[in-house]
Amino acid sequence: MHILCEYKNMKSEKGMTLVTTAILVIVIATLVFAFVYYARLQMAKESLQDLKTDMLLIQAKVSTIEGEYTLNKKDDVLKGIKLSEMQEDETIKQFLEKSIIDANEKGKQYYVLNNDNLSELGLNKIILEEGNYYIVEYTTKEVYYIKGFTYSDGNTYYKLSEIEELDIENVK
């Protein structure tokens, strides 16, 4: 009897059982998954907010420049590269193939902004990834981001006017 009691005590002092270990692993995996999901969600929300802010800053500058253009009627006031001069760029070609804008629409003044143009506008804090551009249309003051933002509904949005309507809280 004494030996049986000693055996039971030894068994309970062995450490965690297989069931306890499995439960602990499941709890830790769940916590890690929840943390990663939350972190990705926050990054997507911040990405959308940053894009909105950048595009609004560009739109404000475009409004100022368009005002100057209206007074002077000089094309050199408009900043950026005329879209018609950039249509051979592969990234621009791919954007135009999506038919988001009609580059040949009469009365529209589409200009492409790269990092150099953004610096020239005093928007040094807006940094574009290599091969990405903003396109502005000076008459309507619309701003386009050629990479777009893919929202949780699966659609990709390119225009500031559409991106502004997206609900940050529903970003996934």
- List pLDDT tens digits, range 36-52: 988 888 888 898 899 99
pTM of the model: 0.76
| Burial per residue of 46-62, b for 16 or more beta-carbon CB atoms within 10 angstroms, e otherwise | eebeebbebbebbbebb
Positive or negative CA dihedral for 147, 82, 116, 54?
A: negative
Mean pLDDT, range 63-77, rounded to an integer:
74
Residue 4 — very low, low, confident or very high, per pLDDT cuts 50/70/90?
A: very low
For residue 25, pLDDT beyond 60: yes
* pLDDT of the residue at 56: 94
> Looking at the 3D structure of the chain, how many domains does it have?
1
* pLDDT of the residue at 59: 94
**Domain interval for residue 34:** 2-170
Amino acid identity of residue 62, one-letter, is V
